[in-house]
Each structure stands twice: as structure tokens, then as C-alpha cells.
């Protein structure tokens, strides 16, 4: 395929399309931005997927079908090593899409292990642009947007449970996201962040609220995509719970692409390996070790609880789910596991969240009075 004819697309996951599109635009690529994840995406993906495959695969396949229908002919996909199914997603999706009669090229990245050079080579192939200057400019704006999005998202997570008028912070955040998306240079990104942070400061907080603080941990895709996790962070915010999500996009990009010897501080994964050592001595793929490590760390930081969100049938998270009740008891921290797939109902999830929040609140009050408290929910 002539690179000039390439029309590039890639799967959606939370906000990731904003920095990736910025990079591709800088490389003068012709892009078709997939539609935001929705029931329609999931219905298409589930229709053509093996029933027991995990949810991210179904969503990715749905994204690809929608993008190909819109005219894309080059699909980007990243894969990971280990026992996680992500290693076989690209090939499986490619085979299925060819079986459905689509004509396209799939370009697969192996993001892990500091393979920055190879990743850049693949992007260059996908966009047909070999300019190093353009690539450097693309990386700069892309990284600036990853950082900026995480910065305003962290602020949203802090303000949301505390604000007097619920959803004001959400509006500020959405506007900020839009400004970051439209920014064309790292300077414009900075201006967008400063503006958004100033807007956040205007929000009136209710200081009398009793706020609980939890870690939200689990599988990467579920944590980062609000459609897939059924807006769990927003629902917790309504219940007066501050969510501290340890898995963030910029952290993931940094630890995946930057070689260890260039990093200055311990990454999230390194911390998780260290803190989970008592319960797990080998890495089994996905975010299993992060889930266990985050739970131990949350207990050490005296947080009120841990919510573990995972796709139904995710292999690494099945392992962590089996170990978590033990960790919860040993570390004295309440933990709940929520499994998501196309059959999960939002109302059921909210009911479980409400019950868990009640338990955490009771635990907190008991602790304040000096009583012993319980572990798993
Ligand atoms: S971590 Fe789990 S859900 Fe995510 S891609 Fe791997 S097997 Fe699927």
C-alpha cells in the first residue's frame, strides 16, 4: 500500500486518542478517529468475538469494524508479552477482520521493554513520514498531552467528591480536555492546563463532608475507559469517595517506553513488585502484580478500601482475585472485586458500590472509636 493512501485508525481507550492523534497529526497522517466506545461498539465486537474472550478484545474489534466501515485501511495495535491474551489480540483480530472481508494492513507495536526506537519505526511506516524533526515534535506534543490529561484528571478525582454542586468539576474537566485536544504545541497544552486548574480553583467545596479515600486498581483497559467501567469514578464521587487511581496513562507510557536505566524514580510497577512480594513472587502478565501491590500499599497508607475492577475472564486478574481476600485479611483493608462484561448491569454495580461504601464508612467510624475492623467485602 502506498503510504499516501494510508488512512490510519486505532482502538479507543479512555483519553488515549487525544495524544495519539496529536502525534499522528504531527506526522501528517490521514486519520480516522474511531467513535467513542459505546453500546454499539461493544455489540459489534461481541458479535464477532469468541464468547469467553475478555472485554478489551471485544471493544477493540468493535472499534476496528467501525473504523474500517468509515474508510480506514491501516490499523494500529499494541501488544504485550507474558501470559496475558493481549499478545494474541492483534493476530486474532486481523484474522477475523479478513474473514469478514475487509482489506487493510495491521501494524503491531510491542510497547514494552523500552522499545522506543522500534515503536517510532512502526509509526513511521504507518504514516509514511520519515522526518526525524516531525517525529520529535510529535513525541513532544504527545507526551505533553499525556501529562496534561493526567494532571487535570487527578484534580477532578480530588474535587468530585468534595464539590458543593455535583458535576461542576466534570464540566471544567471536559472543557479542559477539549482545550488540550485542540492545542497544537506543548506551550498551548500548558496554557490549557493552567486555565483548567484556575477554573477548578473556583469550585466551591463542602468542607463538612466525610470523605472516604480508596485505591481503584485492576485491569488497565477497564480502569481507563469510562464506558467500559460504567463511570465508576463518577459514581464513587457521588457517594463521597475520593478515588486514587494508581494506573494513569502518562505513568504507563513512561514505564513502557523509557528504559529502566534512564528512569529517575521507582515506577508504579516496580513499587507493586516490591510491595506484593509477600503474596506473589512472579509476574503473570496483565496488571495482576499491580493489583496486589496497590492493595498492600493502600493498607500501608491507611486508605479506607480498595476497589478491584476487571473484565470477566481476564486471566491475570482471576489470579489476583483469588489472592485478594487473603491480602485483605492480612493487611486489614476492605477489598471488593467488580467484574465487567457486556452482561454487567450498571444498577447492580451501583448497588454493590453503595454497600461497599457503607462498609468502609462503618469501618472508619469504628477505627476512630478504637475498635478492630474487618477485611474483605
Ligand atoms: S489483562 Fe486481561 S483483560 Fe486485559 S488484555 Fe490481558 S487477559 Fe484481556
Query: CATH 3.40.50.11900 region(s) of the chain?
Result: 211-377
Containing H/E element for 111? none
Average pLDDT over residues 250-273: 82
Cα(174) to ligand 1 centroid in Å equals: 28
The answer to whether the beta carbons of residues 122 and 110 sit under 8 Å apart is: no
The answer to whether the beta carbons of residues 218 and 288 sit under 8 Å apart is: no
Query: What is residue 53's predicted lDDT score, i.e. its pLDDT?
Result: 92
Q: What is the share, in percent, of the chain residues with pLDDT greater than 90?
A: 73
The answer to whether the beta carbons of residues 294 and 306 sit under 8 Å apart is: yes
Average pLDDT over residues 181-202: 98
Query: What is residue 97's predicted lDDT score, i.e. its pLDDT?
Result: 98
Q: Is residue 375's pLDDT more than 80?
A: no
Closest CA to 214 of 312, 279, 303, 89: 303
Closest CA to 377 of 339, 324, 330: 324
Give whole-number Cα distances, 277 to 131, 283, 296, 315, 321, in Å.
45, 10, 10, 20, 16
Question: Any idea what DSSP says for residue 49?
Answer: S
Q: Is residue 183's pLDDT more than 80?
A: yes
Q: Is residue 143's pLDDT more than 70?
A: yes
Counting DSSP H helices and E strands in the chain, the numbers are: 15, 7
Cα(109) to ligand 1 centroid in Å equals: 17
- pLDDT tens for 280-292 read 988 888 899 999 9
The C-alpha cell 513511521 sits at 124
To test the pocket of ligand 1, the residue of 11, 45, 59, 85 to mutate (highest count of ligand atoms within 8 Å of its CB) is 85
Query: What is residue 212's predicted lDDT score, i.e. its pLDDT?
Result: 98
Query: What is residue 174's predicted lDDT score, i.e. its pLDDT?
Result: 98
pLDDT band at 350 (very low <50, low <70, confident <90, very high): very high
Cα(160) to ligand 1 centroid in Å equals: 29
Closest CA to 190 of 159, 157, 224, 149: 149
Q: Identify the three-state secondary structure at position 215.
A: strand
The answer to whether the beta carbons of residues 298 and 324 sit under 8 Å apart is: no
- pLDDT tens for 230-257 read 999 999 999 999 999 988 988 888 777 7
353's grid cell? 458500590
Query: What is residue 376's predicted lDDT score, i.e. its pLDDT?
Result: 55
Query: What is residue 117's predicted lDDT score, i.e. its pLDDT?
Result: 73
Closest CA to 299 of 331, 275, 258: 331
Q: What does the alpha-carbon distance between residue 302 and residue 374 come to, in Å, rounded to a whole number?
A: 14
Q: Identify the three-state secondary structure at position 244.
A: strand
Q: What does the alpha-carbon distance between residue 236 and residue 350 come to, in Å, rounded to a whole number?
A: 9
Q: Is residue 264's pLDDT more than 90?
A: no
CA 57 vs. chain centroid, Å, equals 14
Q: Which fold has domain 211-377?
A: Rossmann fold (3.40.50)
The answer to whether the beta carbons of residues 55 and 342 sit under 8 Å apart is: yes
Closest CA to 255 of 220, 209, 307, 302: 220
Cα(191) to ligand 1 centroid in Å equals: 36
82's grid cell? 507474558
Closest CA to 276 of 342, 224, 217: 217
Q: What does the alpha-carbon distance between residue 188 and residue 185 come to, in Å, rounded to a whole number?
A: 5
Nearest atom within ligand 1 for CA of residue 315: 7
The C-alpha cell 505533553 sits at 144
**Statement: 3-128 belongs to CATH 3.10.450:** no
Cα(119) to ligand 1 centroid in Å equals: 21
What pTM was computed for the model?
Answer: 0.92
Closest CA to 307 of 365, 361, 347, 360: 360
Determine how many CB atoms are found less than 10 A away from the CB of residue 333. Answer: 27
The residue whose CA has the least distance to atom 1 of ligand 1 is 286
The answer to whether the beta carbons of residues 196 and 179 sit under 8 Å apart is: yes
Closest CA to 227 of 36, 95, 19: 36
Sheet of strand 305-311, all strands in order from the earlier edge strand to the far edge:
241-245, 212-218, 305-311, 335-340
Report CA torsion sign: 93, 94, 99, 101: positive
pLDDT band at 326 (very low <50, low <70, confident <90, very high): very high
The residue whose CA has the least distance to atom 6 of ligand 1 is 84
Average pLDDT over residues 169-179: 98
Q: Is residue 372's pLDDT more than 70?
A: no
- pLDDT tens for 294-322 read 999 999 999 999 999 999 989 999 999 99
pLDDT band at 113 (very low <50, low <70, confident <90, very high): low
The residue whose CA has the least distance to atom 2 of ligand 1 is 314
Query: What is residue 216's predicted lDDT score, i.e. its pLDDT?
Result: 97
CA 308 vs. chain centroid, Å, equals 13
- pLDDT tens for 65-100 read 999 999 999 999 877 666 678 888 889 999 999 999
Amino acid at each position: 500500500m502506498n503510504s499516501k493512501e494510508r488512512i490510519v485508525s486505532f482502538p479507543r481507550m479512555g483519553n488515549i486518542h487525544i495524544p495519539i492523534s496529536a502525534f499522528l497529526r504531527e506526522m501528517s497522517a490521514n486519520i480516522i478517529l474511531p467513535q467513542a466506545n459505546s453500546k454499539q461498539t461493544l455489540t459489534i465486537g461481541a458479535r464477532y468475538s469468541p464468547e469467553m474472550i475478555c472485554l478489551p478484545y471485544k471493544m477493540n474489534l468493535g472499534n476496528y469494524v467501525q473504523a474500517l466501515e468509515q474508510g480506514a485501511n491501516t490499523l494500529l495495535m499494541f501488544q504485550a508479552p507474558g501470559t496475558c491474551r493481549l499478545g494474541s489480540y492483534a493476530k486474532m483480530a486481523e484474522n477475523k477482520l479478513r474473514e469478514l472481508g475487509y482489506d487493510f494492513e495491521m501494524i503491531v507495536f510491542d510497547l514494552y521493554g523500552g522499545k522506543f526506537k522500534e515503536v517510532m519505526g512502526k509509526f513511521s511506516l504507518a504514516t509514511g513520514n520519515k522526518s526525524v524533526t516531525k517525529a520529535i515534535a510529535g513525541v513532544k506534543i504527545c507526551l505533553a498531552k499525556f501529562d496534561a490529561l493526567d494532571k487535570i484528571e487527578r484534580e477532578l478525582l480530588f474535587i468530585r467528591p468534595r464539590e458543593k454542586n455535583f458535576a461542576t468539576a466534570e464540566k471544567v474537566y471536559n472543557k479542559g480536555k477539549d482545550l488540550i485536544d485542540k492545542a497544537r504545541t506543548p506551550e498551548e497544552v500548558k496554557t490549557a492546563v493552567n486555565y483548567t486548574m484556575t477554573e477548578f480553583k473556583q469550585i466551591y467545596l463542602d468542607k463538612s463532608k466525610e470523605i472516604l479515600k480508596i485505591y481503584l486498581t485492576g485491569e488497565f483497559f477497564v480502569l481507563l475507559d469510562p464506558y467500559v467501567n460504567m463511570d465508576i469514578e463518577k459514581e464513587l464521587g457521588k457517594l463521597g469517595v475520593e478515588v486514587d487511581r494508581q494506573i494513569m496513562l502518562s505513568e504507563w507510557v513512561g514505564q513502557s517506553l523509557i528504559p529502566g536505566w534512564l528512569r529517575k524514580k521507582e515506577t508504579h510497577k516496580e513499587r507493586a513488585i516490591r510491595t506484593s512480594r509477600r503474596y506473589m513472587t512472579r509476574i503473570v502478565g496483565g496488571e495482576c502484580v499491580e493489583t496486589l501491590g496497590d492493595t498492600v500499599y493502600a493498607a500501608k497508607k491507611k486508605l479506607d478500601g480498595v476497589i478491584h475492577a476487571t473484565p470477566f475472564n481476564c486471566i491475570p486478574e482471576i489470579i489476583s482475585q483469588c489472592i485478594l481476600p487473603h491480602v485483605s485479611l492480612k493487611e486489614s483493608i476492605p477489598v471488593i472485586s467488580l467484574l465487567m462484561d457486556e452482561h454487567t448491569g450498571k444498577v447492580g454495580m451501583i448497588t454493590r458500590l453503595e454497600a461497599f461504601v457503607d462498609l468502609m464508612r462503618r469501618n472508619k467510624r469504628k477505627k476512630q472509636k478504637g475498635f478492630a475492623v474487618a477485611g474483605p467485602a
